Chain A
Amino acid sequence: MQSGEGPLSDEQRLIQEAIDEVFSGQPDESCDPLTELLAKAFVGYTLVRELHRGGQGVIYLAIQHSTKRRVAIKVMHEGPFAGARDKARFEREVEILASLNHPNIVAVHDSGEAAGHFYYVMDYIPGQPLDAYIASEPRSVDALLKLFGTICQAVNAAHMRGVIHRDLKPSNILIDAEGQPHVVDFGLAKVMSADASGDGSPRTVTGQFVGSLPWASPEQAAGMPDQIDTRTDVYSLGVVLYQMLTERFPYEVVGNMRDVLENILKAAPARPSTVRRQINDEVETIVLKCLSKERVRRYQSAGDLAQDVHRYLTGAPIQAKRDSGLYLTKKLITRYRMPVAVGVVILIAGVVLMIWLGLVSSQLRISNEQLTEQTIQAQLEADKAKAVEEFLVKLFTSVDPAWGLGRDVRVVQILDTATQRVGEEFEEQLEVQATLRQAFGRSYFALGVSDKAEPQLRRAIQLQEQVLGEAHQQTLDTKQSLAVLLRNDGRYKEAARLYRQAIDGMLVLHGTDSPKPYRRMMNLARLEELTDPDQADETYQQALQGLERTLEPDHRDVNICKSHYGLFLLQRDQLDEAKPMLQDSLAYFEKKYGVDHAVTAISRYKIARLLAALGENQEATSAYEQAIAGLEKAKGVDHPDTLATRDRYARFLSSIDQKDLALETWQQIVELASEKGLSDRVLGVYQMHLGRALKELNRLDEAEPVLEQAVAALVSGRGVDDEVTIEALRQIVGLYDAMNETQRANPYRAMLKRAGNQNISGDDG
């Protein structure tokens, strides 16, 4: 393998600088007679230093004179005295590497013989081995899987050329300065051949172990070379993935060789989630499938493995779990957050239409008997429905490569095609066209492509108003969808207008005795909290009255409305009005769901805030602690909701002068939030609160790095002109002023000034 500089992290950069400082201009300590001999023998290259000394050869860093670029030269050990097998293996490696053209496999540029030594010249990868890279800083499971997926693709490229690496391990995977992996050292690779008489690889004798033991597959450990195929690499990749995720081996690989071989052959891998709890069921399934002792139960190639990793990262059902009906159902439930599963949305739309088709067909049967005019109409509808079904099925089958055509088609592309066609295909059938546009608009929205969703929804509303009327349920539903989109886009006024239209339509459609309009009204009130609090108050009152009138007093929706309205009143300092609302809803949730349910805990948190506002500090403390305990139990200690509640509690503690306890709480929050990998947007807030608390306690030296981190995270996560970022900037400027570090405060002061100006101009706009 190679090794060299890789300024990928602070530590790596510093290490490289240290190496440059210590070894520049100095003879390499590892310089030996071979190096000196080769230094003269390589025409066109200048040897710089030895990079690595392995079992098969030595790798040097060299400069290629013609291109002035750095290259790595692998020189075979033994030179003129090398055995025939070693020579053949070396030549095989050169051939293999030359045949593989992949950005994540090291490329060979030249080969030959110098001073009796075989060598080849390859790309120099300035980076570090995968294990050092993983150890250099903590990374999220998804980030590791993304990297791993790229490694699998590289190995798959070799598999596609009939090459089995046979020695995949972290030290044979280099990570470059951009974080891209490069698979190196094909010295033990085997070439598969259709010709049964020879596999094209150097001969291996039955019983001879080839590879690196800790990453070896059971078939390697058993010394059965005839069973080595792509699945052998899959197994090694499984061990590598296990290490990447847990920094451990799946089983004991130290000790005497017999025990290690026994473990490889028989020991069940420890479940990765028991080592790192962020590893979920799906990731664990992928890892364990790679590590199946039986080859037939593993992924059949690195390509299959790469695909499943990709499926997981894009939210699609992984192949390894496809057998489970429950699993597929779970994925269906979360479909709106999962791009690929939008295909499922379309399937459901298709199914609904098929049901519709069935109904129409049944009408048709009746009509056939009666031979009325209705029969002809029904036939037309059935034809339309059939056309819709076919249209949807065509779309759906191309959405999911695993179920359909096996192509890697992006859902957005499918939707793009569909939206282009739908107008033409259903030019005369406007109602159908509207339904489809509504579905496409929602699908785009679910994929986060709001700019494409909006015109579809608008066109759908237009068509539905034209064909069905303004007060039709379908028209109202589409308006609701568009309102949600606009709300998310910050266009609150238009969103509120559409909500209001939808509610008015529902009042017409369902009358005032139905709870449906009032449920929507509650949503409208929550939106109006942001735009027009006075109007929100009125809307909440209407919604609550309507729900209380149309539902039983202990209905869930009545209490949800009370909970929302209560918090709103609390935030407006209308404590007396807020109190009964929040108490009623808490009593209801406690009775209905139990004390440890998340909804009950959130409701209790609101009560805690109320009590704090009323100055009942002891009761507030108790309520906060109960709420946090409930959330920890229901959602976990590091769930964002739990952390947000603890943050609010810390602020309360700080306000009642329990600053040390508040500080301790914030320290825990920041630690948990960092470990959880929460976004900069959220983590920055907690860091800012922690830094501010340290500053208030005059622990300025400790506050400094925390506030520095907070500002960096908030600028990155929220932008400079965000309200919270501005507060963090104020804090750090105040800190440096207090430390008489005016020079250090100045850049932040300038940012603060810019942010202030932007805000002013923003307000003006």
Chain B
Amino acid sequence: MNNDQDQLDEQLLERARTGDREAISTLLAKHGVVVRQRIEHDISSRWRSVLSVDDVLQQTYAEAFVSIGQLKATTAVSFIAWLTSLAKRNLIDAVRMLDAQKRGGDRQKIEPNSQASYAALLDLVSATLATPSRVVAGKEATDALSKAIAKLPEAYRVVIQQYDLEGQSIEDVAEKLGKSLGATYMLRGRAHRMLAGVMGAQSNFFSQAP
């Protein structure tokens, strides 16, 4: 890559880190295709009917918009590496869940919107928190969780509400969202991470944890 391009990329990355959507879009349009090439052979043929490269990339781009603040990259090469790592993680999320589903599922039966469903979700989410914390599923925690869910983008709210809390099947949720199964699983993985982020910012929530 030449100096002009390097310079432009650096400027775009600088703008991107401040949340400039146009800069992020430009970077993704420019370099996403490389990530596409890197992951397109990673999807096993057995999953291709429920998970496409586009699914992975769309989720990856969405994550890029959300996580851009954490980006340390100052060059195109490191940006591509970062984006590839997001893509691979999304892909792993989806494949793990698809595998589990194919094996018959490891999902526990829960009463829709019950305390137990919130507790299960909290367990899942707390597992992704930077500071792990065992959580008691008391009413306070449930309220805090509900508030945090309300702050999420709509698609993320839907997947958490309908899949995790109401116990609907992944197929039904996917259909409502107009996404493939793989994309829906990825969306859920990302929703959990985002939820953890939102809750992580609410230190008062954890004040109640033992």
B154: chain A residues within 8 A (beta carbon): 24-25
Contact A22 B62 (CB under 8 A): yes
Contact B7 A254 (CB under 8 A): yes
Neighbour of A132 across the interface among B30, B33, B155, CB < 8 A: B30
Contact A17 B58 (CB under 8 A): yes
User: A24-B153, A253-B4, A254-B3 are known contacts. Are A19 and B45 too (CB-CB below 8 A)?
Assistant: no
CA distance A21 to B59 in the complex (A): 9
Contact B153 A137 (CB under 8 A): no
Q: Interface 1/0s, chain A 217-252, versus B by CB < 8 A?
A: 000000000000000000000000000000111001
Let me know if B111 is at the binding interface, CB within 8 A: no
B58: chain A residues within 8 A (beta carbon): 14, 17-18, 21
Let me know if B29 is at the binding interface, CB within 8 A: yes
Let me know if A69 is at the binding interface, CB within 8 A: no
CA distance A253 to B8 in the complex (A): 11
With both beta carbons as reference points, the residue of chain A lying nearest to B194 in the complex is identified as A22
Let me know if A67 is at the binding interface, CB within 8 A: no
Let me know if A760 is at the binding interface, CB within 8 A: no
CA distance A557 to B4 in the complex (A): 54
Contact A14 B4 (CB under 8 A): no
Within 8 A of B (CB), among A681-724: 700-702, 704-705
Interface size on B, residues (CB 8 A): 36
Neighbour of A19 across the interface among B19, B54, B65, CB < 8 A: B65
Contact A248 B33 (CB under 8 A): no
CA distance A248 to B7 in the complex (A): 11
With both beta carbons as reference points, the residue of chain A lying nearest to B55 in the complex is identified as A14
With both beta carbons as reference points, the residue of chain A lying nearest to B45 in the complex is identified as A739
Shortest CB-to-CB span from B43 to chain A, Å, is 9
Contact B3 A252 (CB under 8 A): yes
CA distance A25 to B152 in the complex (A): 9
User: A9-B29, A29-B19, A135-B30 are known contacts. Are A21 and B153 too (CB-CB below 8 A)?
Assistant: yes
CA distance A52 to B32 in the complex (A): 22
Neighbour of B155 across the interface among A24, A29, A129, A252, CB < 8 A: A24
Neighbour of B61 across the interface among A3, A15, A739, CB < 8 A: A15
Let me know if B2 is at the binding interface, CB within 8 A: yes
Shortest CB-to-CB span from A662 to chain B, Å, is 21
User: A3-B22, A30-B19, A129-B26 are known contacts. Are A249 and B4 too (CB-CB below 8 A)?
Assistant: yes
Contact B54 A10 (CB under 8 A): yes
Let me know if A12 is at the binding interface, CB within 8 A: yes
Contact A21 B155 (CB under 8 A): yes
A3: chain B residues within 8 A (beta carbon): 21-22, 25
Within 8 A of B (CB), among A52-66: 52
Neighbour of B45 across the interface among A52, A128, A704, CB < 8 A: A704
Let me know if B41 is at the binding interface, CB within 8 A: yes
With both beta carbons as reference points, the residue of chain B lying nearest to A49 in the complex is identified as B21
Let me know if B201 is at the binding interface, CB within 8 A: no
Q: Interface 1/0s, chain A 141-172, versus B by CB < 8 A?
A: 00000000000000000000000000000000
CA distance A516 to B162 in the complex (A): 84
- Majority secondary structure of chain B interface residues (helix, strand, loop or mixed): helix
Let me know if B149 is at the binding interface, CB within 8 A: no
Contact A135 B22 (CB under 8 A): no
Shortest CB-to-CB span from B144 to chain A, Å, is 19
Let me know if A136 is at the binding interface, CB within 8 A: yes
Neighbour of B5 across the interface among A21, A248, A741, CB < 8 A: A248
Contact B29 A702 (CB under 8 A): no
Neighbour of B65 across the interface among A18, A249, A702, CB < 8 A: A18
Contact B29 A744 (CB under 8 A): no
CA distance A248 to B1 in the complex (A): 10
Q: Interface 1/0s, chain A 248-263, versus B by CB < 8 A?
A: 1100111000000000
User: A24-B155, A741-B45 are known contacts. Are A128 and B5 too (CB-CB below 8 A)?
Assistant: no
Let me know if B57 is at the binding interface, CB within 8 A: yes
Let me know if B66 is at the binding interface, CB within 8 A: yes
Considering residues A22, A26, A131, A252, which has the most beta carbons from chain B within 10 angstroms of its beta carbon?
A: A22
Let me know if B40 is at the binding interface, CB within 8 A: yes
A132: chain B residues within 8 A (beta carbon): 25-26, 29-30
User: A14-B54, A741-B45 are known contacts. Are A22 and B65 too (CB-CB below 8 A)?
Assistant: yes
Let me know if B64 is at the binding interface, CB within 8 A: yes
With both beta carbons as reference points, the residue of chain A lying nearest to B10 in the complex is identified as A254
Shortest CB-to-CB span from A430 to chain B, Å, is 63
Let me know if B28 is at the binding interface, CB within 8 A: yes
Contact B22 A18 (CB under 8 A): no
Contact A52 B22 (CB under 8 A): yes
Contact B61 A14 (CB under 8 A): yes
Contact A136 B25 (CB under 8 A): no
Considering residues B49, B154, B187, which has the most beta carbons from chain A within 10 angstroms of its beta carbon?
A: B154
Contact B33 A137 (CB under 8 A): yes
Contact A135 B29 (CB under 8 A): yes
CA distance A291 to B107 in the complex (A): 66
Contact B28 A15 (CB under 8 A): yes
Shortest CB-to-CB span from B197 to chain A, Å, is 13
CA distance A635 to B172 in the complex (A): 59
With both beta carbons as reference points, the residue of chain B lying nearest to A251 in the complex is identified as B4
User: A9-B29, A128-B25 are known contacts. Are A18 and B61 too (CB-CB below 8 A)?
Assistant: yes
Contact B4 A248 (CB under 8 A): yes
Contact A136 B29 (CB under 8 A): yes
A137: chain B residues within 8 A (beta carbon): 33
User: A247-B5, A702-B41 are known contacts. Are A22 and B29 too (CB-CB below 8 A)?
Assistant: no
CA distance A132 to B31 in the complex (A): 11
Contact B45 A701 (CB under 8 A): yes
Within 8 A of A (CB), among B1-39: 2-5, 7, 19, 21-22, 25-26, 28-30, 32-33, 36
Shortest CB-to-CB span from A291 to chain B, Å, is 15
Contact A26 B153 (CB under 8 A): yes
Let me know if A743 is at the binding interface, CB within 8 A: yes
With both beta carbons as reference points, the residue of chain B lying nearest to A743 in the complex is identified as B49
Contact B21 A19 (CB under 8 A): yes
Contact B4 A11 (CB under 8 A): no
Within 8 A of B (CB), among A325-353: none
Q: Residues of A with Cβ closer than 8 Å to B?
A: 3, 9-12, 14-15, 17-19, 21-26, 29-30, 52, 128-129, 131-132, 135-137, 247-249, 252-254, 700-702, 704-705, 739, 741, 743-744
Known A-B contacts: A21-B58, A701-B41, A743-B49. Give 12 more (CB < 8 A).
A3-B25, A11-B32, A11-B33, A15-B25, A19-B25, A26-B153, A128-B25, A128-B26, A132-B30, A137-B33, A248-B2, A739-B45
Closest 10 CB pairs of A and B: A18-B61, A18-B62, A135-B30, A25-B154, A14-B58, A254-B7, A132-B26, A11-B32, A3-B22, A136-B29
Q: Can you give 21 A-B contacts (C-beta < 8 A)?
A: A3-B21, A10-B57, A14-B54, A14-B57, A18-B58, A18-B61, A19-B65, A21-B58, A21-B156, A23-B65, A128-B29, A129-B22, A132-B26, A132-B30, A135-B30, A247-B5, A252-B3, A253-B4, A254-B3, A701-B45, A741-B45
